[in-house]
Amino acid sequence: MRIVCPFCGERELGEFTYLGDAKPARPAADAGEDAVFDYVYLRDNVAGAMSEHWYHSGGCRAWLKVTRNTLTHEISAVEPAAGAGAAKVGA
């Protein structure tokens, strides 16, 4: 598997580290215990297109948001995660 880093270009899997689901968003401070439990522990076991965080640890050290099909490993989109490369994200 290869990932096309938006900063470096196409690189082998060995340069990247997998973090996991990019969907969960931190709930508001007053959202309640169930929402926090869900955010911290509960994950969907997706069969199909999934949005994931990957870290280009062996390269430019940017966090990436990768859309990958968990059945085929086909990658349909790669973009910088929020905060990675301020110039590109505008963060």
Partner 1 sequence: MAEFSWEVRSPLERALVAGPFGTRGDAGVSLTEIRNFDLIQVMARRSKAAHMAEAAKGRFGVPAPDTPRAVDAADATLIWSGPDQFLVLSKSGKHAIEALGQAFAASASLSDQSHARVLISVSGTKARTMLAKLSSIDLHPDAFSIGAAAATSIDHTSVTLWRGTDGPDGQAVFNLLVLATFAESLWHTMLDAAAEYGVAIAHSEA
Query: What residue ranges bind partner 1 (CB under 8 A)?
Result: 7-9, 11-12, 14-15, 57-62, 80, 84-88, 91
Cβ proximity to partner 1, 50 vs 84, nearer residue: 84
Place of tokens 């994931």: 52
Q: What is the DSSP string of 78-89?
A: EEEPTTSSHHHH
Closest separation in Å from C-beta 74 to partner 1: 20
Could you give the CA distance from residue 71 to residue 51 in angstroms, rounded to a whole number?
A: 13
Cβ proximity to partner 1, 9 vs 32, nearer residue: 9
Closest separation in Å from C-beta 56 to partner 1: 8
Cβ proximity to partner 1, 54 vs 80, nearer residue: 80
CB proximity list for 63: less than 8 A, separation 6 or greater: 19, 53, 54, 55, 56, 80, 81, 83, 84
3-state secondary structure of 40: helix
Closest separation in Å from C-beta 1 to partner 1: 12
Closest separation in Å from C-beta 37 to partner 1: 32
